[in-house]
Amino acid sequence: MSILPQLAFVLILGFAGYILSKRIKFLRRNILLGKAESRNDQANSRWKTMLLVAFGQQKMFKRVVPAFLHLLIYVGFLIINLEVLEFVLDGILGTHRLFAPVLGSAYTVAINSFEFLAVAVLISCLAFLIRRNVMKVERFTKPELKGWPAMDANLILVIEIILMFAILTMNATDQILAGRGDSHYIALGPLFFSSFLKPLYEGFSDGALVFIERFAWWFHIVGILAFAVYVTYSKHLHIFLAFPNTWYSNLKAKGEMQNMPEVTNEVNMMLGLPVENSENPPAEIGRFGAKDINDLSWINVLNAYSCTECGRCTSECPANLTGKKLSPRKIMMDVRDRAEEVGKSLDSGGPGLADGKSLLGDYITKEEINACTSCNACVEACPVNIDPLSIILQMRRYVAMEESGTPAQWNAMFQNMETAFSPWKFSPSDRFNWADKVKEEEMK
């Protein structure tokens, strides 16, 4: 028996692993372009958040129909890929259905379960294609999804449909050959879903069936390996990053804004209060707020790479709903695109962050960040706990503190808050004058 198929499989597996490892290193370096930030506190709460939100799909079920379809794909992805282990071992060892003799009738039950999930995934992908391209759900028609993002989403769905069909085709032709007494193939008992495809192939010769079965097997396993590499370039990277992303979620109350340590220390020094890291103060503050990705936290960049581009954040954003240019989804896509641009520049020996561009200005405009109401609707809506507001606030701080570029009305408000402790220009001693007027009215 020729070992060429085994050698070819090992080479393909090794090549896919090499490409995948390079891409993982690239992504890790890009994420770490952000500033250091530690979020390893409250481990129990973080495990709970990850299990409920990433693994348990908790926030997805705020919209039941897409959540149910996504759950079918998610469960199918997890369980069907258990079969990939057998594919890999068969490819390396040159065997066929390695686990069938070991598991006996349980193997038939397992294959029937895989087929059920394959059909469920296939139907769900068809439903998502219809939602995107026929029903044209509004959150999938926003400007930031034009071009490649829309094609990427459709391409993944089509690939998954073809891969699921390959499983059913492989099983159908496999069982026809087993029924014809081919010793290489193992009769498994009735396979419900693939049995519907058997009439399509009953009239084929043994040679043709072997070709179709082997083609489907190779197509599926090579497709899985190619898919694993492709998702690292796609929005579907969230399949893997949703878990660390939810682990590093911001566990503080949604309305609590993170203070800048540099400013906090300055205020504490003025008030005579203890100052953090007073023994080794920084020689000079690099920058207030964020202009580019290196001014953001590495967790912000991780958020960007974890974005599913589902648009739930944008569909809940009150600014976007009133026609403003702000789209929280676009903010996250822009951060990711800027990280990719800088990473590719560094890998090619280019200037990297010193390329004359920046996240604020070249990707995200002041008009966008100024439209944000800081309501946290986007944060609450995200199914994987991404925090676009954190990025928006940091860029606003840069505009206000480095450029003095906030709108004139805002500057007046800031000045009033500094001098009168309220957004309105009147003395604090006059703050309760309205109450005196109410009493006067009551006494009349």
Q: pLDDT (tens digit, 9 = 90+) per residue, 395-441?
A: 999 999 898 888 888 888 888 888 888 888 878 778 788 788 888 88
As a whole number of angstroms, the distance between CA 304 and CA 364 comes to 14
| Cα separation values, 229 from 21, 22, 59, 109, 157, Å | 9, 10, 27, 31, 16
SS3 152: helix
Burial status of residue 131 (CB atoms within 10 A of its CB: 0-12, 13-18, 19 or more): middle
Which pTM was predicted? 0.88
Residues of the chain with pLDDT under 50: none
pLDDT at 15: 96
Who contacts 323 (Cβ-Cβ below 8 Å, separation ≥6)? none
Rounded Cα gap, residues 123 and 169, in angstroms: 16
95 Cβ neighbours under 8 A, 6+ residues apart: 89
For 288-406, CATH number out of 2.40.320, 1.10.1060, 1.10.10, 1.10.600 equals 1.10.1060
Distance of CA 67 to the CA centre of its chain: 15
pLDDT at 267: 78
- State the residue for tokens 């029924």: 179
pLDDT at 277: 64
Domain boundaries, the chain: 4-31+63-239, 288-406
CA separation for the pair 297, 271 (Å, rounded): 29
pLDDT of residue 285: 61
